[in-house]
Structure 1
Amino acid sequence: MRPFLRSYAGYWDSGLSPYEVRVVPTGRAVLVINLGEPFAQVRRIGAPGTGSGRIGSMVVGLEDSPTLCVHRGGQEAIRLELTPLGAYRLFALPMGELAQHVVELHHILGPGAELLVERLAASRDWAERFDLLDGALLDRLGRGPDPAPEVGHAYHLLARTAGTIQVARICAEVGWSKGYLIRRFTEQIGLTPKTYGRVLRFDRAVRMLARGGATLAETSAVCGFYDQAHLNREFRALADTTPGRMLSARQVEGALTL
C-alpha cells in the first residue's frame, strides 16, 4: 500500500478531558477508523452550517480550508492519510464529490465498513488490527479504478515541484487543454490543479517552518510565495491562523491543538 499512503497510525488518548483540534489542508485525503468514542463535531471553519454532529469513522476529502474537530476525550482510532490517486482507487468514486466534505465511512465503503470497524474494535491487539485493515484496504485497492495516465502525470508534476509548476506547463506536458485538464483533474484528484498547487505550497511551508532553521522570508522564497506578506495571507486563508501561532501550537496526530 506504500504508493497510496502518506501516513498510517493507530493511536489512543487515555485522558478523558474534552479537546478541540484544527486540521489544516495537506493535499491528502483522510480515513479515520474510530474504535472508541465518536467525535462530537467536525466542521470546516468559515463554512456555512453546523457541521457533522456526532460522527465516528469517517472519510475527509481534500480541502483548501481548516477543519475543527471536537472530541469528548478518550479517543482510540486508526488514521490514514492517502494520496489523492490512492483515495480515488480506494473509494472508487469521483474525488470532486468528496472535496470539502466529511462523510461517514459506511456511505463510502458500503455496509461492510461497519462490520470491519466492529472487528477492529473487538481486537485489543494492534498487530491484528493492522492485519485486518491491510487486507480490507488491499482488496479494495486491487479492484479500484485506475486514474487517467494524464491525470497521474499532472499530479506527479505538481507533487514533485511542491505546487510551483504553472498550469500551462502541465497542459503542455499532458497534451490537454486547460479546461479539459481542470475537469478531469478535479474529478479524480478533488481540487483544481491551481488550488491543489496552492495547498502543496502551503503544506511545504508548514513542514519547512516546523523543521526550524528557516526564516519566514526564506520559507516564502523557497516555497514559491511572492513575499512574506503573501505567505501570511495564505496561512490565514488555508489555516485561519498565522505561521507563528501555528508553529507554537502543540502537534497531535495529524492536527494542531487550539
Structure 2
Amino acid sequence: MFRFVVSIYTGHVLSAGTPPDWASVDIAVPRPSRRLPGINMAGFCARAPASADIAMVAHPSVTLLVDLSEGEGLLVDTHGQRVRGSVVVGLLPGDLRASGRGGGECLQIRLEPVTAAVVLGSSAELSGTVVSLEDVWGRDAGRAEDRLRAAASWDDRFAIVAEFLGRRLGARPSVDPEVAYIWRQTLTSRGRVRVDGLADEVGWSRKRLWSRFRSQLGITPKRAARLVRFDHAARLLAAGHPPACVATESGYVDQSHLHREVKAFAGLTPTAVAVAPWLAIDHVAWPALSPTRAL
C-alpha cells in the first residue's frame, strides 16, 4: 500500500480542481500472484472527506470502475448521460467526467479489448459508451460488489476479482486469433505498426482485417494504433521528456504531428499534458505500463 497526496483518481485525470479539493489517497496494487493476462487492477481509497470532478480521456483498454463507497457514490457523466455507481467505460468514450463527494473507495480494472470481449461480452458493443456494470453482468455485478465491500483488505479484494474474472477467462474466446494477434502486436510495438504488413502476417486481405477487427473490438486497426501511440507519448510527456524527444521516440513525423494527436485525444497541448496531474501516480498504480524517465 502506498500513500500519496493526489486528486481522487479513477482513470486518466485531466483536471480535479485545486486545493482544498485534493485529498489524501491510498493506492493499492495486487501482488504478482493476483495478476491475470490482459488485466490490470488498482484500488483507490480517499482517507479524508473530499469532492472530485474528474475529466477522463481515451485509454487503450475497456475500464471497469467498481464503486465501493458509501452514500451517493460515483457519478459518471458523458454527453449528458449520467450513470451512478459501478460502470463499464468502453474504448473511446468521448467527453467523460466522473464526480464524487465525501470519502470513498473505488476499484479500477483495465481490460485489454480482447480480454474484455471474453469477460464482458462483445467489447465492440461497448465502444464509445459508458454503461452500468449491472447492465453488463446483471445480478452478478451486485453480488461481486457485496463481496468486495465485505472483504477485510485490498489483497482480499484483488483475490476475489482474480477468482471472478479467472472463471470468465475460461470461456470460449469471442475474437478471432488473428484479431487477438494484431492487437497484441499493436500494443507491444506501442502503435508503430503497418496495417498492411499485419494483414500479410495473418494471411488476410486489408479489407478483411479492417472489417473483422472493427466488428470484434469496436475500433479500426489504424485508430487502435493511434490510441496506443498517444497513450505511450502521454506517459513520456508526464515523465518529463521534452515534446521534441517524445515525438521522435513515439514515431510521430514531427512535433506538430504529436501536438495534433495529443490535442485530438486529450484536448490539451503536449506542454499541458506534461504538467497535468492525470498521470502523476501511474508509475505506482500501473507500474508495468509506465515508461522510465530516461529515453
TM bucket, shorter chain: 0.7 to 0.9
Question: What is the rounded CA distance, in whole Å, between the counterparts of 2:93 and 2:229 in structure 1?
Answer: 12
CA 1:144–1:121 in 2, change beyond 3 Å: closer, same or farther? farther
The question of 1:68 aligning with 2:97 is answered yes
Residue matched to 2:42: 9
CA 1:111–1:90 in 2, change beyond 3 Å: closer, same or farther? same
User: Can you list the C-alpha shifts for 1:103-153, whole angstroms capped at 9, x where unaligned?
Assistant: 111111221111111221133432322222221111111124253111122
Residue matched to 1:46: none
Describe the SS at the equivalent of 2:199: helix
Contact 1:89–1:141 (CA<8 Å) still a contact in 2? yes
2:270 maps to a residue whose letter is: P
Contact 2:84–2:132 (CA<8 Å) still a contact in 1? yes
Residue matched to 1:116: 144
Deviation, structure 1 residue 56: 0.8
Question: What is the rounded CA distance, in whole Å, between the counterparts of 1:109 and 1:234 in structure 2?
Answer: 34
Deviation, structure 1 residue 187: 2.6
Question: What is the rounded CA distance, in whole Å, between the counterparts of 1:118 and 1:148 in structure 2?
Answer: 35
Residue matched to 1:227: 254
Describe the SS at the equivalent of 1:200: helix
Contact 1:22–1:69 (CA<8 Å) still a contact in 2? yes
Residue matched to 1:80: 109
Q: TM-score, normalised by structure 2?
A: 0.77
Q: TM-score, normalised by structure 1?
A: 0.87
Describe the SS at the equivalent of 2:196: helix
Aligned length, in residue pairs: 245
Contact 2:239–2:274 (CA<8 Å) still a contact in 1? no
The question of 1:92 aligning with 2:127 is answered no
User: Can you list the C-alpha shifts for 1:197-250, whole angstroms capped at 9, x where unaligned?
Assistant: 0001101101112222x3211211221212111111111110011122122122
Question: What is the rounded CA distance, in whole Å, between the counterparts of 1:99 and 1:40 in structure 2?
Answer: 20
Residue matched to 1:157: 185
| Structure 2 counterpart of 1:178, from 203, 206, 209 | 206
User: Can you list the C-alpha shifts for 1:28-59, whole angstroms capped at 9, x where unaligned?
Assistant: 1111111114223332xxxxx302x2411111
CA RMSD of aligned residues (A): 2.0
